[in-house]
């Protein structure tokens, strides 16, 4: 994972500010390098290009510094991503040098600029994995930049309205924000040609976008109450493979001096279905001696405190996600007793959340609603990983200790709701218009996940030098999920009660209250022996961690309300 800064300016270099450099260092503490180039136009009006990249080294046997330069062509790459596969083949070791070779080869295959953009898009289309990049193709004096098709990595475009020949492309925003900022679209690869002495912009769409959602909304009757066994088995298989790519062979290039008790992998852990399924399957693919941290965040919320009758109990231990987290932690220990599971209780006092609020607002920009802030705040402190740990394994005593997680890889369950109908609006859509309306709602959610969630979340959590990985958004898993008919993903059925038992092949005799949302994932979890978690109800992070409407007097505020930039911090 890396931080990217690129600037283009006519007449003089536009160097990163101290604040921009600090933001880069936070994202990539292992290396920070810069490079300046001049593109001749005239004696006094040359284009100045400034590249800067920081590195969080998580691939290969050494720290690969950036920006990367191809010595033969002079091309430059700033790469923030993980190429898990290229052209269907798993990438071993460091991926950034292989991506540079891929792009250089593609740029040499075409000469006209628009065709060159197409060649670059076709090359990137071969990559499975999250990424954002800036690539300077020296031979044709062209800048290419973009994000992967899902938008799993942040990339912002900052343009001056008064100076057209000036722009910045970066992983994060920075104050004071003097340029017009926007998230780079995930629908195409963009290019800026400088060969004519002026900036000529063009785009090239993905040549092979991810498949559309299965719109078969007319099942052959009678429709079974539960998804078929093959769907359950294939979903587990694809998800386990996605997790394996993301948790195995993580190198230790940190300065934390990790030992056998240190975790390399942590799970953003509310105790709910999605994150617990990731933890449970990670147990199957990680070496048995490798610890896993479970990061569980809870906030002191003055509005909740004012409404409580019992003011003696802990405001953190009464948070819904803390209650669920501890319960699920116990179930994980029972089902997987050989693993060192470390439950990290991250308690955030109200004063501390206020102190960090300006930083969080800067990081999540250009998102700026009350809901953005409540979600970003929970993710920000969870990713920091600083709290009180309870660590248990076979033959060990349970003890609570102050603890900061050493894990640099965080697993997130984001994507499960969008793919498998986990939100309340999905149930409402089915009630309103059956499978057709449900398919349309799922398609809408999946298409906008990059602009709605992923860029913001990347900026907020990467601030701590952590990389967030999304197994549910693995390309192979997504193709599998999108290809399933909607009635295989969920338990919504017209005129039939919600299924209360998993009784397929008479293998389960214990009742489980399985709600229809994400039923397929619930059955995967049920097969893992974790029946309590399989029946856990969906709860949004801002309500589970108590970050929603933290200020007294916000009872009528809506999540879509814009933040007031002039309102004082209280």
Active site residue 78: no
Query: What is the rounded CA–CA span in Å between residue 366 and residue 34?
Result: 25
Residue 346, phi then psi, degrees to nearest 5: -105, 105
End-to-end CA distance of the chain: 35
Is 134:145 a contact under the CB 8 Å cutoff?
Answer: yes
Catalytic, out of 2, 78, 191, 336: 2
Q: Residue 425 has which token pair?
A: 């609006």
> Taking phi first (over 0 means left), then psi (-120 to 50 degrees means alpha), and beta for anything else, what does residue 461 get?
alpha
Query: What is the rounded CA–CA span in Å between residue 5 and residue 53?
Result: 6
Bridge pairing between strands 47-55 and 68-69 = unpaired
Is 369:561 a contact under the CB 8 Å cutoff?
Answer: yes
The angle formed by the CA atoms of residues 12, 203 and 118, to the nearest 5 degrees, is 115
Nearest alpha carbon to residue 322 among 544, 534, 538, 530: 544
The angle formed by the CA atoms of residues 473, 125 and 477, to the nearest 5 degrees, is 25
Query: What is the rounded CA–CA span in Å between residue 297 and residue 322?
Result: 7
Q: Residue 45 has which token pair?
A: 């009006």
Sheet containing strand 131-137, edge to edge, reads 68-69, 76-81, 131-137, 142-147, 188-193, 200-205
Residue 156, phi then psi, degrees to nearest 5: -115, 145
**What does DSSP assign to residue 110?**
-
Task: Give me the count of residues in the chain.
Answer: 570
Is 325:389 a contact under the CB 8 Å cutoff?
Answer: no
Beta strands, E only, 62-111: 68-69, 76-81, 85-86, 89-90
Q: Residue 553 has which token pair?
A: 């007097």
Beta bridge partners of 439: none
Q: Residue 117 has which token pair?
A: 């953009």
- What b-and-e string marks burial along 214-224, b requiring 16 or more CB atoms within 10 Å of the CB? beebeeeeeee
Nearest alpha carbon to residue 51 among 69, 64, 73: 69
CB within 8 A of 233, min separation 6: which ones? none
Query: What is the rounded CA–CA span in Å between residue 107 and residue 503?
Result: 56
Residues annotated as catalytic (active site), given as ranges: 2
């Amino acid at each position: 994972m890396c931080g990217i800064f690129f600037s283009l300016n006519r007449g003089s270099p536009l160097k990163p500010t101290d604040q921009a450099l600090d933001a880069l260092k936070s994202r990539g503490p292992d290396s920070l390098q810069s490079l300046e180039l001049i593109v001749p136009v005239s004696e006094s009006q040359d284009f100045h290009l400034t590249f800067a990249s920081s590195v969080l080294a998580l691939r290969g046997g050494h720290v690969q510094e950036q920006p990367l330069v191809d010595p033969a062509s002079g091309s430059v790459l700033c790469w923030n991503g993980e190429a898990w596969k290229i052209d269907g083949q798993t990438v071993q070791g460091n991926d950034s040098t292989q991506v540079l070779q891929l792009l250089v080869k593609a740029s040499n295959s075409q000469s006209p600029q628009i065709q060159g953009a197409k060649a670059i898009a076709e090359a990137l289309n071969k990559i499975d994995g999250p990424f954002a990049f800036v690539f300077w193709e020296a031979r044709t004096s062209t800048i290419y930049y973009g994000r992967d098709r899902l938008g799993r990595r942040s990339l912002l475009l900052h343009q001056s309205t008064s100076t057209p020949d000036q722009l910045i492309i970066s992983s994060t925003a920075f104050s004071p924000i003097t340029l017009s900022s926007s998230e780079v679209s995930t629908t195409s690869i963009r290019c800026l040609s400088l060969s004519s002495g002026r900036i000529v912009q063009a785009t090239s769409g993905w040549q092979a976008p991810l498949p559309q959602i299965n719109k078969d909304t007319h099942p052959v009757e009678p429709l079974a109450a539960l998804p078929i066994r093959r769907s359950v088995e294939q979903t587990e298989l694809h998800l386990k493979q996605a997790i394996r790519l993301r948790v195995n062979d993580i190198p230790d290039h940190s300065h934390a001096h990790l030992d056998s008790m240190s975790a390399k992998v942590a799970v953003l852990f509310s105790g709910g279905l999605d994150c617990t399924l990731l933890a449970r399957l990670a147990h199957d693919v990680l070496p048995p001696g490798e610890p896993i941290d479970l990061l569980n965040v809870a906030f002191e919320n003055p509005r909740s405190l004012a409404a409580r009758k019992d003011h003696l109990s802990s405001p953190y231990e009464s948070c819904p996600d803390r209650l669920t987290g501890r319960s699920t932690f116990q179930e994980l220990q029972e089902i997987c007793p050989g693993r060192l599971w470390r439950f990290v209780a991250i308690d955030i006092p109200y004063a501390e959340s206020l102190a960090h609020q300006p930083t969080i607002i800067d990081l999540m920009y250009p998102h700026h609603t009350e809901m953005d802030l409540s979600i970003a705040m929970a993710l920000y402190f969870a990713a920091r990983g600083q709290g009180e740990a309870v660590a248990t394994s076979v033959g060990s005593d349970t003890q609570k200790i102050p603890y900061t997680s050493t894990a640099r890889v965080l697993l997130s369950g984001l994507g499960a709701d969008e793919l498998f109908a986990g939100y309340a609006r999905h149930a409402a859509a089915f009630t309103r218009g059956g499978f057709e309306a449900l398919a349309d709602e799922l398609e809408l959610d999946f298409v906008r996940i990059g602009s709605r969630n992923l860029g913001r979340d990347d900026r907020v959590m990467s601030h701590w030098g952590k990389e967030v990985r999304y197994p549910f958004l693995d390309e192979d898993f997504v193709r599998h999920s999108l290809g399933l008919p909607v009635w295989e993903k969920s338990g919504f059925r017209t005129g039939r009660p919600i299924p209360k038992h998993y009784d397929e092949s008479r293998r389960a005799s214990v009742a489980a209250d399985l709600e229809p949302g994400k039923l397929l994932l619930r059955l995967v979890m049920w097969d893992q022996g974790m029946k309590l978690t399989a029946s856990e109800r969906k709860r949004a992070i801002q309500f589970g961690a108590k970050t929603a409407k933290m200020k007294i007097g916000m009872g009528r505020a809506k999540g879509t309300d814009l933040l007031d930039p002039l309102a004082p911090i209280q």
